[in-house]
């Protein structure tokens, strides 16, 4: 099947199509991980983006469906160099081709992903269009150029839960229950799994939930999840943090980290090509340790924008010095840009981060 990828700068890439026939548009973003394609494709943070893997062979251990980070594929499309048609793993249920077909999402293979990665690093992330079932490159370029910038798109509403729901931990202490309200901007399931594994009950609420509604659950903590798009579009989360700061502990991951920063008077900006992969080095100023982390974000926090001197930067990226963590000197509030839940990726920070969350929520 013919397929074509068009970029807003006029670049046309033709290849072999797989998955579902059709047309999708989105930012073309690259990730450097060489495993975890199942987790990455189902990460809601990739909503509005066409995902490209820099590792040349994708699909070699198949798809088990046990590693999904949501209820299905959330990336708009998939771009790869070479596909594995005969995966080998005892848990594999289907090929990556079948995954994309079942999800109704298109993909393209036979692409020079190295060239496209270099282009993205040099010129920045670009809008793109992927057409599966055609090789009309001019049409793909036209569609890419017509796509609004990601800051103009309402992506959070497409991935947040429609209604609140509660998950009770099987490890909960009935004599000392801990209830965490998880504000869902496009959460990865591994976040709630890490909370539940420490005996915390989790109440998941939509991104538009009001501060008064959050308070009605009588939570021990407010936790802000990851999610797609521009953090300044998360107005519900920003309002919740502003109004509830000081009343209960607040923690955030990825987009949640950016939302907390905005609520505390900071600012955010769009990175040239973002951090996406499973080997981002993060230096912790408190311990002096450099952690290897899993990341997926296109925006970052401006460290010089905080109006409050009480906000301190606790961690930075060892590659480009971007902000990876903040905390408040007096309020029970901290956040990180990376994913300590780390699926896929290294587990360096999972235990210390979520153990700190548990302690802050009131469990000694």
Please report the pLDDT score of residue 364 as a whole number. 45
pTM given for the model: 0.96
Q: For residues 198 and 332, state if they share a domain.
A: yes
Q: For residues 194 and 140, state if they share a domain.
A: no
pLDDT in tens, 161-178: 999 999 999 999 999 999
Task: Print the domain residue range for 106.
Answer: 2-147
Q: What is the CATH number of the domain that holds 264?
A: 3.40.50.880
Please report the pLDDT score of residue 347 as a whole number. 82
Number of domains comprising the chain: 2
> Residues 6 or more apart from 191 whose CB is under 8 A from it?
182, 223, 225, 226, 253, 341
- Token pair for 364: 């000694």
Please report the pLDDT score of residue 346 as a whole number. 78
Q: For residues 216 and 139, state if they share a domain.
A: no
The alpha-helical segments, DSSP class H, found in the chain are: 37-41, 96-103, 113-123, 137-146, 156-159, 189-196, 211-216, 235-244, 255-263, 350-360
Q: For residues 206 and 339, state if they share a domain.
A: yes
- Token pair for 342: 């780390």
The alpha-helical segments, DSSP class H, found in 24-112 are: 37-41, 96-103
Q: Cα 332 vs. chain centroid, distance in angstroms?
A: 24
Q: For residues 88 and 219, state if they share a domain.
A: no
Gap between the Cα atoms of 54 and 114, Å rounded: 7
Q: For residues 118 and 172, state if they share a domain.
A: no
- Spatial contact of 250 and 221, defined as CB atoms under 8 Å apart: yes
> Residues 6 or more apart from 200 whose CB is under 8 A from it?
169, 172, 178, 179, 180, 357, 358, 361, 363
Gap between the Cα atoms of 243 and 269, Å rounded: 24
Segments in the chain below pLDDT 50: 364
Answer with the one of 147, 177, 200 that is the final residue of a domain: 147
Q: For residues 107 and 23, state if they share a domain.
A: yes
DSSP state of 319: T
Q: For residues 135 and 161, state if they share a domain.
A: no
Answer with the one of 128, 147, 166 that is the final residue of a domain: 147
Please report the pLDDT score of residue 344 as a whole number. 65
Please report the pLDDT score of residue 30 as a whole number. 98
Answer with the one of 123, 147, 171 that is the final residue of a domain: 147
């Amino acid at each position: 099947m013919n397929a074509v990828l068009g970029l807003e700068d006029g670049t046309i890439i033709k290849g072999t199509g797989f998955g579902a026939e059709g047309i999708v548009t989105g930012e073309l973003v690259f990730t450097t991980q060489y495993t975890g394609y199942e987790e990455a494709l189902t990460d809601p943070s990739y909503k509005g983006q066409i995902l490209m893997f820099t590792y040349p062979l994708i699909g070699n251990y198949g798809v088990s469906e046990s590693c999904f980070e949501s209820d299905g594929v959330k990336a708009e499309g998939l771009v790869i160099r070479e596909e594995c048609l005969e995966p080998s793993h005892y848990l594999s249920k289907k090929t990556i081709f079948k995954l994309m077909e079942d999800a109704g999402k298109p993909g393209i293979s036979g692409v020079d992903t190295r060239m496209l990665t270099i282009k993205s690093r040099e010129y920045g992330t670009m809008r793109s269009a992927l057409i599966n079932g055609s090789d009309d490159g001019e049409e793909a370029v036209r569609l890419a150029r017509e796509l609004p910038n990601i800051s103009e798109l309402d992506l959070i509403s497409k991935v947040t839960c429609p209604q609140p729901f509660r998950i009770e931990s099987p490890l909960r202490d009935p004599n000392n229950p801990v209830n965490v309200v998880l504000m869902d901007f496009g959460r990865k399931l591994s976040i709630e799994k890490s909370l539940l594994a420490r005996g915390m009950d989790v109440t998941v609420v939509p991104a538009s939930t009001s501060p008064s509604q959050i308070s009605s659950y009588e939570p021990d903590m407010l936790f802000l999840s990851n999610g797609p798009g521009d953090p300044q579009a998360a107005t519900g989360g920003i309002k919740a943090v502003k109004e509830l700061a000081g009343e209960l502990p607040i923690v955030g991951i990825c987009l949640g980290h950016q939302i907390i920063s905005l609520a505390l008077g900071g600012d955010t900006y769009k990175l040239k090509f973002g951090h996406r992969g499973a080997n981002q080095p993060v230096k912790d100023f408190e311990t002096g340790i450099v952690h290897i982390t899993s990341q997926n974000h296109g925006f970052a926090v401006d460290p010089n924008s905080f109006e409050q001197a009480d906000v301190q930067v606790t961690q930075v990226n060892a590659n480009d010095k971007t902000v990876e963590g903040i905390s408040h000197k007096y309020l029970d509030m901290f956040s990180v840009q990376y994913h300590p839940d780390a699926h896929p990726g290294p587990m360096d920070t999972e235990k210390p981060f979520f153990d700190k969350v548990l302690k802050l929520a009131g469990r000694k």
